[in-house]
Amino acid sequence: MNNNHVKLVVTGGGSGGHTSAVSSVCQRIQEQNPNIDMVWVASRTGVEREVAQSLNIPQQVITTGKLHRAINKKLIPDLLRVPLGLIQSFRFLQATKPQLIFSSGGYVAVPVVIAGWMLGIPIIIHEQTASVGLANRISGYFATKILLSYQESEQFFPAQKSIVTGNPVRKEIFSGSFETLQARFDFSPDLPLIYVTGGAQGAEAINKVIGELLPSLLVKFQILHQCGSIAETYDSEWLNQQKDSLLPPLKPRYHVVDYVDSDLIGSVFQAASVVVSRSGAGTIAELKALSLPSVLIPYPFAIKNEQLLNANILAREQLALVITEDTLTSARLLDSINQVYGWPDSDQAKTRPEFVNPADVIQQEIVRMLESIGIKTETTAPPDKGHHVVSVPDRKVSQN
């Protein structure tokens, strides 16, 4: 690190939601505050390590254990790792002397936050879900300021140090075009697109129902289906078999992939008329940012049923219909897709405010916190509209 620069330690990971929140904020800081140097404290096996590397942010790896809510065979080994992670965090922070810590939660963040509190370092934490994870519940006791994605989370934290900022989203989702997607998959410009995703690992229940519905859906729609990469389910193989059995005119309307790269996701979202998805925190934030109509099938085994709580937030804003997995049928999904197709209508769209990316809001909160302790930061020109304020893209509506 350059000793003349501001030192910021960021931490958070273990899942895509925690990692995405940190990475979005880090991107904004890199663009807006060139004299802030960051180090990402990561776990040895977390997904955050690849993300930090992609952003050229130096890493400090610590050993830490996952926090468990119930007794299981991993409880004792993980508990024994927590003190080691605390010691490693304390030594690292003591040597680095950062001016601020920003955490998005996950088990890797807890020892960093506690060690920072012990050393008197100001701490900002961010919570992505409506239900609040255990790591952030613990971290909230030690945080200087708590940033929330939803008002529903306010009940879990002290009001005097909590504010609602929203959940940061990737800047990539605001760029792209149908033409880019067409060049990759040869989709027709005359048919609306459904994007189906179960997250990086896929969702077997969603994959099965979509596979059964292909002959019905492809009469009216074309589909990009991100099915996940878990080989044990054979979903990708089975879905391609379903495609092979389609009538020849329908086959070009369906494409199945294991994963959608970040360089393509913006084009997918800009082209999509409907999204069928799980309802993780990151997905909900991105669908809300784009006002993209969706049918959400929450993961039924999420801790404290957080995906259902997340999905209901979009449902209340008339951006989604929610189907629980135990009530998911082909007929119900088909009916729900047809219902949300075309949302939001013109009247709804006019009443929605322009979207301000919470990544910008959080970046500004970090700057304010630094200024409150007498540390000035360099600031570049204000963010361009593509990152900061975003208008809802037009959706293709069939005239048939």
Angle 281-290/306-316 helices, nearest 10 degrees? 10
Is pLDDT at 307 greater than 70 in this prediction? Answer: yes
pLDDT per position as a tens digit, 327-343: 999 999 999 999 999 88
Tokens of 175: 């760029």
Closest CA to 17 of 131, 135, 105: 105
155: in domain: yes
pLDDT attached to residue 72: 58
The neighbouring-strand residues paired with 275 are: 195, 294
Domain, as residue range, for 331: 172-350
> What proportion of the chain, given as a percentage, has pLDDT over 70?
86
HEC string for 148-215? ECCHHHHHHCCHHHEEECCCCCCHHHHCCCHHHHHHHHCCCCCCCEEEEECCCCCCHHHHHHHHHHHH
Same domain, residue pair 154 and 185:
no
- Enter the pTM of the model: 0.83
129 in any annotated domain: yes
Confidence check: pLDDT of 226 > 70: yes
Q: What is the pLDDT of residue 396?
A: 52
Question: Considering the domain boundaries, does residue 396 fall inside one?
Answer: no
Q: Are residues 177 and 72 in the same domain?
A: no
CA dihedral 253, 258, 262, 268 (to 10 degrees): 20
Specify the pLDDT at position 16: 64
pLDDT tens profile 57-109: 999 999 886 654 555 566 566 667 688 999 999 999 999 999 999 999 988 99
Confidence of residue 302 (pLDDT cuts 50, 70, 90): confident
pLDDT reported for residue 257: 94
Query: SS3 of 123, please?
Result: strand
Whose tokens are 């963010």? That residue is 383
User: What is the residue type of 105?
Assistant: G
In this structure, the answer to whether residues 363 and 242 fall within a common structural domain is no
Average pLDDT estimate for 117-146: 94
pLDDT-wise least confident of 2-16, 112-126, 137-151, 239-253: 2-16
Determine the pLDDT at residue 320.
97
Report the pLDDT averaged over residues 312-331: 96
The partner residues of 126 in beta bridges, in order of sequence, read 147
Tell how strand 59-62 and strand 355-356 pair up: unpaired
- The answer, yes or no, to whether the previous bond of 382 is cis (omega within 30 of 0) is no
Co-location of 259 and 300 in the same domain: yes
The least confident of 82-86, 122-126, 244-248, 385-389 is 385-389
Domain match, 189 and 127 both: no
Q: Answer whether residue 397 is part of any domain.
A: no
pLDDT at 346: 44
Q: Are 196 and 226 in contact (CB under 8 A)?
A: yes
Is residue 30 located within the same domain as residue 96?
A: yes
- Pairwise CA distance, residues 308 & 313, whole Å: 9
Helix (H) or strand (E) holding 217: helix 204-217
Residue 253 has pLDDT above 80, yes or no: yes
Q: For 338, phi and psi rounded to 5 degrees?
A: -65, -30
**Same domain flag for 284 and 375:** no
| Same-domain pairing of 35 and 64 | yes
Rounded to the nearest 10 degrees, what angle do helices 16-32 and 281-290 cross at?
50
DSSP 8-state code for residue 321: E
Residues 113 and 210 in one domain: no
Same domain membership, residue 272 and residue 210: yes
Reported as a pLDDT band with limits 50, 70 and 90, residue 7 is: very high
Residue 389 banded pLDDT, cuts 50, 70, 90: very low
Phi first, then psi, for residue 102 (nearest 5°) are: -120, 125
Asked if the structure places residue 391 within a domain, the reply is no
Say what percent of the chain tops pLDDT 90. Answer: 68
- Does residue 340 lie in a domain region? yes
Local structure of residue 249 (DSSP, 8 states):
T
373 part of a folded domain: yes
Q: What are phi and psi of 330, to 5 degrees?
A: -60, -45
For all residues of the chain together, what is the average pLDDT?
88
Residues 251 and 102 grouped into a single domain? no
Residue with tokens 């409506």: 130
Number of domains in the chain: 2
Are 22 and 47 found together in one domain? yes
Token reading at 208: 């099965």
Q: What integer pLDDT is reported at residue 391 of this predicted model? A: 43
CATH number at residue 370: 3.40.50.2000
* Model confidence band, residue 348 (pLDDT cutoffs 50, 70, 90): low
* DSSP letter assigned to residue 274: E
| Whole-Å CA distances, 95 to 98, 108, 114 | 9, 19, 16
Q: Are strands 355-356 and 389-390 parallel, antiparallel or unpaired?
A: antiparallel
Distance (Å, rounded) from C-alpha 230 to C-alpha 107?
A: 24
Q: What is the pLDDT of residue 381?
A: 62
Give domain status of residue 213, yes or no: yes
Q: Three-state DSSP class for 117?
A: helix
pLDDT band at 17 (very low <50, low <70, confident <90, very high): confident
Tokens 């529903």, located at residue: 152
Question: Tell me: the pLDDT tens digits for 148-190?
Answer: 999 989 999 999 999 999 999 988 899 899 999 999 999 999 9
Give the closest residue to 279 by CA, choosing from 244, 249, 323: 323
Write down the pLDDT at residue 261. 86
